[in-house]
Amino acid sequence: MPKYTKLLNFSKETIREIQRRDNRSCLFCRIGYHCEEFDPNKLDFIIHDIMHFIPKSKMGLGIPENGVEGCRYHHHMLDNGNKGRRSEMLKIMGNYLKSIYPGWNKSKLVYRKYED
């Protein structure tokens, strides 16, 4: 396994930090984003993950500035993009992260072996 792989995953400490920051709630559920199917008893809404803004497949780092808490329902919606909502969801995520981290910049979220 390449050494950088660890840098792309959210550590347990980073996950806890993001959960505290996001009040252990889904960013998209909080704003009512396409929650037509919402059911508080459905596992897809109960189980939460940390969602990468820049995905690991694009070398997105596992840092707080690159993640938000989301329920499985919205995480699948983001990752699969099958409803054509990915770009809108990324805009919402980006605006949220910008509101928390002054100077937030997408280029700082990507692993680079050598700095430019």
Render pLDDT for 35-79 as a digit per residue (tens, 0 to 9).
988 888 899 999 999 999 999 999 999 999 999 999 999 999 999
The total number of structural domains that make up the chain: 1
- Give me the pLDDT at residue 84, please: 87
Model confidence at 16: pLDDT above 90: yes
Two structure tokens written together for 110: 């990507």
Q: Is 114 part of a structural domain of the chain?
A: no
- Give me the pLDDT at residue 37, please: 86
Q: Is 57 left (phi over 0), alpha (psi -120 to 50) or beta?
A: alpha
Q: Is 72 part of a structural domain of the chain?
A: yes
Q: Place 116 in a pLDDT band, splitting at 50, 70 and 90.
A: low
Q: Which long-range contacts (CB under 8 A, 24 or more apart) does 102-109 make?
A: 104/65, 106/53, 106/54, 108/65, 109/53, 109/54, 109/60, 109/61, 109/63, 109/65, 109/66
Indicate the angle between helix axes 72-80 and 86-100, nearest 10 degrees.
120
Q: Is 116 part of a structural domain of the chain?
A: no
- Give me the pLDDT at residue 115, please: 67
Q: Is 115 part of a structural domain of the chain?
A: no
Q: Is 47 part of a structural domain of the chain?
A: yes
Q: Which range of residues forms the domain containing residue 92?
A: 5-109
Q: Is 56 part of a structural domain of the chain?
A: yes
Q: Is 91 part of a structural domain of the chain?
A: yes
Q: Is 40 part of a structural domain of the chain?
A: yes
Whether the full predicted model's pTM is greater than 0.85, yes or no, is yes
Q: What angle do CA 12, 96, 42 make, to 5 degrees?
A: 65
Q: Which residue has the tokens 């508080």?
A: 40
